[in-house]
Structure 1
């Protein structure tokens, strides 16, 4: 019996639960395969990142279960495996981004979806899994874009929107009807929270926020499956998503247009650098500066002009004495200094010793300044301008208009594999980039998901051991 309230959640849920693999565009399927490959590589790379092993130990007190903790021989109940896996996935800050919001769509969706699959549909084929993944990623992007970013209010949109996407993915995987899907969305609304303070304070809690939301979605799915209903007026209610998170401003056309074919997925960006997405345009620009023949020794000072949001997120001053990995991941000064000195920004550049390298860290602290400009849209990642003052007294100005890894400047399969190779070597994974690529792409031929899970269950050989 329908309990319709007319809330827009019903339309969104209807598109999600009725989605079929046969109706997905080839480009959408390819985008799903690439983000799956990229995200799992990031997770295997983050296995030993600060906080992640400690979290696995802390979670072990709740006992074993049926779900693989990736890169280990351990298992856990689905919600706690999702926390462990999601923490590893997000630890390197190397995972996908929807630049329009911005948010990390897969950081919540994938740990929840694979955990639910392993517990409830272990015989699932590739087509069913990919369809649910597409529904979830597209849904997270759709909710985020319809509201527009509210980072200025302190909301973390990977968390706020990602949970909604994960709920849609699980509803599709379980083949639920619209009422059940709406109920799960309602449970997620009841549990949603997501503060940016962990980023502002530079704490390791940041890497577990999406993971904990994945856990919450799985709890909500258990309640829904047991017939315990969630709020029905998910978006339009007096304390629903629109009023609570969006100040009453929400574009329903953005939420629903193309939802029947998950049309947004091809807009996801895959990162070329393991740092906050707002550092990418400055890194790209710094590499241009280096290619122009400018060396660190010839630089007196560099001033980056960025959007207001970029300044808020990554414009912090770098202090080599106190900086931790999160400070470095969210700092233009540090990442640009790495790019200028080393010609690349890789996972190893965020190891504790690297953060205090006298040349790189000292340059970041003393010779790089970031300032916001009203000439750039407040939320934009690009353009970025660099004013370079050289030791000979001359000044040069560089303008960067691209953001590598975006839909307009996609990473090639070769670049994605090179990134994955850096990840699996860093995490000591017992999986090669080619193995992972081939196994992921076999899902498009409807190969069973168990083959992918078998790869993820291979235990790591330890940090950087390969």
Structure 2
């Protein structure tokens, strides 16, 4: 039920954040946090040399060295700028986590801000405290996102809008702040929150840096709040607060508070099997069904995908083989499903420049795949997705996908997560191994020092892989 907010919720969020402890968390929640941590770091090491990311790192050097690690480089920077570099790398491949209910990428803001702040302010932090802070932040981002509901029609990027709130909660918990200090940080984040979807619509590299800039903003806000400079207190219910500004005056207060004492939403976070917009995943799953049925590109006259309205808005664009760029391809059902049919998988290398120009894949995407929205599917849903396949022999077949790979209903196994990480590490030239990072992440649940993991992240990459 949607309720009109009559009181501010920042104090309630802050109270639960400051009182959360590792011993209060369910085992399933901790396991989910370990998976998303491993997966997110793999994405970051994989995106280290993706277009725009090295250039951003070079631009940030003007602010000098610092205490925070720029992952995979052996370099350091002040925490806010290390967070920008790391968040840009991890979001570049569009391979990072998604809360399918909103949708949003929770870790893209929370983790880079949290680890950078840890290195500057709590370098001796151990696993349980770190994991508690990470869980509070990811859960908080999901709560704010789900309680508000997406406002994509107004152009808001919800990874940014709610992700910043989650990062603020994570840092407040890491610093062991009072509820009043936590509310102040949430207020500072409200004061600087923004996030337009235009970078996706225009297919620009700015998209991969939007969570990064918000991570930086949270750290600046934490510096102000830590110095006693107060932020707005009516964070959610104020006249220009979060609800009125971003949610048209309505908010699902019950969703925000349900089970908040255990921070359990994290078990519902999805991890991606394909390096593209989450709205392409169900169509890719269906196309792999089509391929498994023995249907090859040569047999196909035309394939029409029926999707939700939001899936069409985000990823229903036509593919232009001669001019499409990386972001165009990541947000295109036609291209990603053509890759799946032709190659039997969708991997990082499928978004390299030469892959985007493959005439067989690109031509098929442009000429033989179309996408249309259907009112039979809820506007915001990832699934179901239906593919109507018209074959050249005059026959037709229909395929339906009701779940999405990587979702809570179809989780990636440990083996699948490691295989994904191996693709990331190879693409980014990582010198750490999959098992080294996997084991270091798992040791955090046994309260190992976070510095052990950071030592691996500081190991320099071999450099970009030749195409």
Question: In structure 2, what is the Cα distance between the partners aligned to 1:372 and 1:118?
Answer: 47
Tell whether 2:234 aligns with 1:233: yes
Tell whether 2:448 aligns with 1:447: yes
1:241-280 alignment runs, 5 A limit:
241-280=242-281
For residues 223-244 of structure 1, the C-alpha deviation after alignment (integer angstroms, 9 at most, x for no partner) is 0000000000000000000000
Tell whether 2:383 aligns with 1:407: no
Q: Structure 1 unaligned runs (5+)?
A: none
> Alignment length, in residue pairs?
462
Give the aligned partner of residue 27 of structure 2: 26
Q: What is the SS of the residue equivalent to 1:407?
A: coil
Give the aligned partner of residue 153 of structure 1: 154
Q: What is the SS of the residue equivalent to 1:371?
A: strand
Runs of 4+ in 1 over 2 A off after TM superposition: none
Question: In structure 2, what is the Cα distance between the partners aligned to 1:356 and 1:249?
Answer: 46
Change beyond 3 A, Cα 1:301–1:465: closer
Q: What is the SS of the residue equivalent to 1:22?
A: helix
Displacement of 1:341? 0.2
Q: What is the SS of the residue equivalent to 2:324?
A: coil
Displacement of 1:464? 2.6
For residues 178-220 of structure 1, the C-alpha deviation after alignment (integer angstroms, 9 at most, x for no partner) is 0000000000000000000000000000000000000000000
Question: In structure 1, what is the Cα distance between the partners aligned to 2:399 and 2:8?
Answer: 49
1:23-102 alignment runs, 5 A limit:
23-102=24-103
Give the aligned partner of residue 390 of structure 2: 389
Give the aligned partner of residue 16 of structure 1: 17
Does the Cα contact within 8 Å between 1:426 and 1:465 map onto a contact in 2? no
Displacement of 1:6? 5.7
For residues 312-337 of structure 1, the C-alpha deviation after alignment (integer angstroms, 9 at most, x for no partner) is 00000000111111000000000000
Question: In structure 1, what is the Cα distance between the partners aligned to 2:94 and 2:453?
Answer: 23
Q: Structure 2 unaligned runs (5+)?
A: 1-5
For residues 150-196 of structure 1, the C-alpha deviation after alignment (integer angstroms, 9 at most, x for no partner) is 11111000000000000000000000000000000000000000000
Give the aligned partner of residue 432 of structure 2: 431
Question: In structure 1, what is the Cα distance between the partners aligned to 2:432 and 2:358?
Answer: 31
Does the Cα contact within 8 Å between 1:425 and 1:465 map onto a contact in 2? no
Question: In structure 2, what is the Cα distance between the partners aligned to 1:448 and 1:202?
Answer: 40
**RMSD of aligned C-alpha atoms?**
1.0
1:176-187 alignment runs, 5 A limit:
176-187=177-188
Displacement of 1:427? 0.2
Displacement of 1:463? 1.7
Q: What is the SS of the residue equivalent to 2:455?
A: helix
Displacement of 1:77? 0.4
Displacement of 1:7? 2.0
Give the aligned partner of residue 331 of structure 2: 330
For residues 373-392 of structure 1, the C-alpha deviation after alignment (integer angstroms, 9 at most, x for no partner) is 11111001100111111111
Displacement of 1:465? 7.0
1:83-162 alignment runs, 5 A limit:
83-162=84-163
Q: What is the SS of the residue equivalent to 2:230?
A: coil
Question: In structure 2, what is the Cα distance between the partners aligned to 1:8 and 1:458?
Answer: 42
Question: In structure 2, what is the Cα distance between the partners aligned to 1:420 and 1:304?
Answer: 30
For residues 380-437 of structure 1, the C-alpha deviation after alignment (integer angstroms, 9 at most, x for no partner) is 1100111111111111111111100000100000000000000011000011111110
- TM-score, reference length from structure 1: 0.98
Question: In structure 1, what is the Cα distance between the partners aligned to 2:136 and 2:84?
Answer: 21
For residues 284-328 of structure 1, the C-alpha deviation after alignment (integer angstroms, 9 at most, x for no partner) is 000000000000010011000100000000000000111111000
